[in-house]
Amino acid sequence: MKKIISAVLALTVVAGVAFAGGAKDTSNVALNKDKPLVFFNRQPSDPTTGAIDMASMNWNAKTYYVGFDAAGGGAVQGKLITDYLAAADAAVIDRNGDGTIAYVLCIGDVGHNDSKARTEGIRRALGTWNGSTDPTVKKEGSVTVGGKTFKVVELEGKAMTGTDGSTWNANAATEAMGNWATKFGRQIDLVVSNNDGMAMGCLQASNFPAGVPIFGYDANADAIEAIGAGKLSGTVSQNVDAQAAGTLQVIRNLLDGLTGADVYSKGFTAADQYGNKITATVEYKADQKGLFALNGPVNAANWKQYTAGTRDAGIKQSTAAKKKVLLTIYNSADNFLSSSYLPALYYYAPLMGIDLTVVQGDGQNEASCLDKFTNFNNFDAFAINMVKTNSGRDYTDKLKY
């Protein structure tokens, strides 16, 4: 009888150490609430105040954010515009010769920290900043054009929301630009956009005023081509490869059991155990538990450096054990994420031993992502790009169980 009992106990071992009575030891099985969680591109924050949602960021010790320096990027875009104007012919820029540089502004999402930072950077550079990113709150500014000082006015700033409620909407920008061109005519001397998608949307307007400088943000492939063709005046690279590789590097570090400073230094400021190191500068901010890629201006002088196909040579094939990661994208139609970010993720993931499962939302309803954010036991880590920046808890609540 003793031999039979011993044989039964031996057969009860399945993925763990068996105890008397056939009980399974799950002490080394990670619970979903303890798995690595990285928010990316859309920082958990209050859409009104901009305050970082530290409750979400402190969900567990393995929660981080990876994005880019939004405030710094806004300043880069502002300087890109003022540098362009400083070197321009005043007689050409001031189209109606009224001594005023008037511009229209495409705002991505008034409740998004990145959109707020870009709007602020533009208005500060042009002197129209009045302490608020509200589309209606601005003041008269001034700028130097070809050695002369001109008054600056913002004719209109508008949040580009689609008919389906999605933000950063290129079609909405096309419609708005058409209306602006009709409404303001030759008063428009400059067009500025919070992203490339909306800027390219403006260029699609049939009555876009030919020759008017237009600036975007993101350095998407089509925007880079437009700069080369002389259609777009400039954009800002938020270093998509550093962000995408950085998102995966943090996840890889956490999956490999790294803790403390090693999580945000290995693969960034020092090579990781596989010899990989992102070549671009990515800065860590402890008060936000976030890593931020730096931005760079793109214009007619340097656009060729940003043409598609260039990847970070610092990331090579590793011997890392394959792990499964569930990743959400807030909007399948978002130009930057679909044409730039996702291709970069798909390039770097297999090099780092990461098997990605990507689910995408509609850019309007959080449920479009949340409903697909499931089957957690099948994954080793999670990467989240929310529809709304204050939705962090909706995702962490699902990981409790």
Domain architecture of the chain: domains with CATH: 1-30 (no CATH), 32-69+239-303+311-398 (no CATH), 71-237 (3.40.50.2300)
- Residue 349 CA to residue 248 CA, distance in Å, equals 7
List, run by run, the mean pLDDT of 10-residue segments along the chain (401 residues): 41 36 52 97 89 96 94 93 98 97 96 90 96 80 96 97 93 98 98 97 98 96 96 95 97 98 98 97 96 95 85 95 98 90 97 98 95 97 96 97 78
- Residue 214 CA to residue 227 CA, distance in Å, equals 10
- Residue 220 CA to residue 342 CA, distance in Å, equals 12
Whose tokens are 């031993």? That residue is 353
pLDDT recorded at residue 113: 84
pLDDT recorded at residue 281: 93
Burial 285-315 (b: 16+ CB within 10 A, else e): eeebbbbbbbbbbbbeeebeebeeeeebebb
Whole-prediction pTM: 0.78
- Residue 349 CA to residue 356 CA, distance in Å, equals 7
**Cβ-defined contacts of 176-183 (< 8 Å, 24+):** 176/104, 176/106, 176/202, 177/104, 177/106, 177/201, 177/202, 177/204, 177/205, 177/208, 178/205, 178/206, 178/207, 180/104, 180/155, 180/156, 181/205, 181/207, 181/208, 181/209, 182/207
Bridge partners, residue 301, by sequence = none
pLDDT recorded at residue 257: 98
